[in-house]
């Protein structure tokens, strides 16, 4: 007897089905049985990320996605996590990070993962990992375009998902160089081409860092022209503005103009009004952003929940003194005549901050200077009995310009006003570190998200818990256009954080930053526990999020 091909297939299919049923009979071989869920989170208080109140629900996960939600009787799961009494929320989407190089060196991104970040958005402040012409200090590999970077990152693997913007500072550096001059028409075309290519290769927007060279040398018009080059639906303009203190209102105005002229969705990075004399401007900036929204623009801001900011010590020196790159900056610092012009401008910044005690050194490259880390320039100058300005210049010269600092320049009230604003996203502005690191990073690199929950929501009660969770999940996910993340919902990617509201706490401080938070025992990325029982598992379930992950 001979089978037709059609019959043969039918017969095989029925035998297969029979074997599957037999596998479910107790005592029978279970070799072909696959549980309904890879992971089942039982009994948790689910806050779905949209801002609505919590519900008691189980979450069933299969193949990296949420496949069931509600009272799930089935114990047919390969693994069950008992979340009774704990909150189950979407993984945090960190819209402004500096993990671009770190994630390659430290794929588990310890300080970020342990605080619940399941998606990192890199390429912030005008600086991205690609395209580059030369390698930075931190870089092992040079990527001439985003295809190279994204492919390499996917191959190496990461615990978290990673998306990136393309930095317009990086683009200017590659095409125009380090000089303070307008781009020629040819250079403009070349830069537009770089932006278009980056978006085509999977970037989700453009960013600027207008207090950093050479990005700061771009005119307002250059910025809106380049932003416009980003094809829709990826025309997101994320800006570290030209100024965040005495001229912050002008800077907000410029950001809105760029949004208006380019038709971009606007994202103001780490929104703040620094220095006491400017604190009253927080309310005004929010009013300006509200007006832009009323005009029909899409405007959001992000903010880290701390009152000190972190930057390079170089930023205390006037922009003109840094024109042309590090070499020329160093040459000017050695020239006493030029230094006489630099000094009053730097001292004006210090006055605005309060004093040299508001400037704390956080990183140095020269070994002998490591003892300065964690001290303020005021303290060091007193100790060494030197002039704090002369000390700073000397340190810059010996460190070839790369010294990290934090400035205590913000107020609690303004921080709460900004965090409370309806379109403010909670974001770390931080890189990824492991406690083995000898550096002294801003505590936000370890504590941003637990701190926003434990301090600003629970203790200060600036908004409801579901609203605070929304600011960390669906709001940033929608902003960059992620189609299936940021909300706990059937069909979405299973990025999930489980925390205990009673005990959640950030532990990192400015003097002791390498401290993981408490009360956040599970972080699940694409259905796989990357943190369990407060430990990093070493699993690398993260994905590089390129065009197919976006719906905008
Ligand atoms: Zn920034």
269 Cα–ligand 1 center, Å: 6
Question: How many angstroms separate the CA atoms of 471 and 465, rounded?
Answer: 10
98 Cα–ligand 1 center, Å: 9
Q: At how many degrees (to 10) do helices 248-262 and 281-294 cross?
A: 10
Residue 59: both structure tokens together: 């979450």
Is 86 buried (19+), middle (13-18) or exposed (0-12) by CB count in 10 A? Answer: buried
210 Cα–ligand 1 center, Å: 9
Question: How many angstroms separate the CA atoms of 396 and 93, rounded?
Answer: 35
504 Cα–ligand 1 center, Å: 27
268 Cα–ligand 1 center, Å: 10
- pLDDT tens for 25-48 read 444 445 668 999 999 999 999 999
94 Cα–ligand 1 center, Å: 13
524 Cα–ligand 1 center, Å: 28
- pLDDT tens for 54-88 read 999 999 999 999 999 999 987 799 999 999 999 99
Query: Which residues of the chain register pLDDT less than 70?
Result: 1-32, 138, 551-552
266 Cα–ligand 1 center, Å: 15
Q: What pLDDT sits at residue 23?
A: 36
431 Cα–ligand 1 center, Å: 12
209 Cα–ligand 1 center, Å: 6
- DSSP letters, 489-550, are -TTSB--EEEE-TTT-B----SSS-----BS--EEEETTEEEEETTEE-------B--GGGB
- What backbone torsions phi and psi does residue 266 show, to the nearest 5 degrees? -95, 135
The DSSP H or E segment spanning 312 is strand 309-312
240 Cα–ligand 1 center, Å: 5
124 Cα–ligand 1 center, Å: 7
Q: What pLDDT sits at residue 31?
A: 62
Q: What pLDDT sits at residue 8?
A: 37
Question: How many angstroms separate the CA atoms of 200 and 275, rounded?
Answer: 40
Question: How many angstroms separate the CA atoms of 60 and 80, rounded?
Answer: 9
- What backbone torsions phi and psi does residue 94 show, to the nearest 5 degrees? -95, 105
Q: What pLDDT sits at residue 141?
A: 84
125 Cα–ligand 1 center, Å: 5
57 Cα–ligand 1 center, Å: 39
498 Cα–ligand 1 center, Å: 29
80 Cα–ligand 1 center, Å: 41
- DSSP letters, 404-434, are EEEE----HHHHHHHHHSTTEEE---B----
532 Cα–ligand 1 center, Å: 32
103 Cα–ligand 1 center, Å: 18
Q: What pLDDT sits at residue 82?
A: 96
149 Cα–ligand 1 center, Å: 22
Quickly tell me which residue has 């992971």 as its tokens.
Answer: 39
Question: How many angstroms separate the CA atoms of 513 and 441, rounded?
Answer: 6
Return the exposure string of 410-445: e unless at least 16 CB atoms fall within 10 Å of the residue's CB, then b: bbeebbbbbbbbebbbbbbbbbbbeeebeebbbbbb
CB 305 within 8 Å of CB 462: no
Question: How many angstroms separate the CA atoms of 98 and 212, rounded?
Answer: 15
430 Cα–ligand 1 center, Å: 9
55 Cα–ligand 1 center, Å: 37
Strands 359-363 and 404-407: antiparallel
248 Cα–ligand 1 center, Å: 14
CA-CA-CA-CA torsion sign (101, 434, 107, 160): negative
Question: How many angstroms separate the CA atoms of 469 and 479, rounded?
Answer: 15
Alpha-carbon distances of 139 from 46, 159, 345, rounded to whole Å: 40, 20, 34
- pLDDT tens for 223-264 read 999 999 999 899 999 999 999 989 999 999 999 999 999 999
Residue 113: both structure tokens together: 């993962």
47 Cα–ligand 1 center, Å: 30
Question: How many angstroms separate the CA atoms of 302 and 528, rounded?
Answer: 28
Q: What pLDDT sits at residue 551?
A: 67
Return the exposure string of 460-487: e unless at least 16 CB atoms fall within 10 Å of the residue's CB, then b: eebbebbbbbbbbbbbbbbbbbbebbbb
Mean pLDDT of all residues belonging to the chain: 92
CB 350 within 8 Å of CB 356: yes
Question: How many angstroms separate the CA atoms of 170 and 16, rounded?
Answer: 56
Q: What pLDDT sits at residue 3?
A: 38
64 Cα–ligand 1 center, Å: 33
Taking only Cα atoms into account, the Rg of the chain, rounded to an integer number of angstroms, comes to 25
Contacts 24+ apart (CB under 8 A), 499-502: 499/86, 499/87, 499/89, 499/116, 499/450, 499/453, 500/85, 500/86, 500/87, 501/86, 501/87, 501/453, 501/458, 501/465
Residue 191: both structure tokens together: 């830069």
CB 368 within 8 Å of CB 384: no
């Amino acid at each position: 007897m001979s089978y037709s091909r059609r019959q043969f297939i039918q017969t095989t299919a029925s035998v297969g089905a029979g074997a599957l049923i037999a596998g479910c009979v107790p005592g029978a071989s279970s070799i072909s049985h696959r549980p309904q869920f890879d992971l089942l989170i039982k009994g948790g208080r689910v806050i779905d990320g949209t801002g609505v109140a919590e519900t008691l629900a189980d979450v069933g996960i299969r193949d990296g996605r949420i496949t069931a939600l509600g009272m799930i009787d089935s114990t047919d799961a390969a693994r069950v996590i008992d979340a009774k009494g704990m909150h189950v929320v979407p993984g945090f989407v960190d819209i402004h990070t500096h993990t671009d190089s770190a994630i390659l060196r430290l794929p588990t991104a310890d300080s970020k993962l342990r605080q619940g970040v399941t998606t990192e958005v890199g390429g912030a402040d005008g600086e991205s990992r690609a395209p580059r012409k030369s390698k930075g200090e931190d870089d092992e590999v040079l990527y001439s375009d985003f295809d190279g970077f994204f492919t390499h990152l996917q191959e190496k693997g990461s615990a978290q998902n990673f998306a990136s913007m393309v930095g317009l500072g990086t683009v200017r550096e590659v095409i125009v160089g380090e000089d303070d001059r307008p781009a020629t028409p040819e250079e403009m075309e070349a830069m537009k081409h770089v932006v278009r290519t980056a978006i085509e290769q999977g970037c989700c927007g453009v960013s600027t860092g207008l207090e950093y060279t050479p990005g700061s040398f771009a005119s307002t018009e250059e910025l809106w022209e380049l932003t416009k080059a980003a094809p829709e639906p990826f025309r997101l303009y994320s800006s570290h503005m030209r100024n965040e203190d005495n001229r912050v209102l002008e800077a907000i105005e410029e950001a809105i103009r760029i949004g208006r002229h380019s038709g971009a969705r606007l994202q103001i990075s780490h929104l703040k009004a620094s220095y006491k004399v400017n604190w009253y401007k927080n309310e005004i900036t929010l009013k300006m952003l509200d007006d832009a929204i009323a005009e029909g623009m899409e405007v959001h801001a992000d903010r880290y929940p701390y009152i000190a900011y972190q930057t390079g010590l170089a930023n205390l020196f006037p922009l003109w003194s840094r024109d042309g790159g590090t070499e020329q900056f160093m040459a000017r610092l050695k020239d006493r005549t030029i230094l006489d012009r630099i000094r009053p401008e730097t001292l004006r910044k210090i006055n605005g901050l309060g004093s040299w005690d508001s400037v704390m050194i956080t990183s140095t490259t020269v070994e002998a200077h490591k003892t300065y880390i964690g001290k303020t320039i005021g303290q060091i100058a007193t100790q060494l009995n030197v002039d704090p300005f002369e000390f700073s210049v000397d340190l810059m010269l010996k460190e070839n310009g790369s010294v990290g600092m934090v400035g205590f320049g913000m107020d609690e009230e303004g921080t709460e006003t900004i965090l409370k604003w309806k379109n403010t996203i909670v974001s770390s502005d931080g890189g990824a570190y492991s406690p083995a690191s000898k550096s002294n990073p801003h505590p936000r690199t370890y504590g941003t998200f637990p701190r926003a929950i434990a301090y600003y929501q629970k203790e200060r009660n600036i908004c409801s818990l579901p609203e605070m969770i929304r600011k960390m999940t669906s709001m940033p996910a929608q902003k960059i256009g992620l189609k299936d993340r940021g909300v706990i919902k059937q069909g979405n990617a299973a990025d999930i954080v489980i925390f205990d509201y009673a005990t959640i706490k950030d532990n990192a401080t400015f003097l002791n930053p390498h401290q993981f938070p408490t009360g956040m025992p599970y972080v699940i990325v694409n259905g796989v526990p990357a943190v369990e029982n407060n430990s990093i598992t070493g699993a690398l379930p993260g994905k590089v999020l390129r065009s197919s992950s976006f719906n905008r």
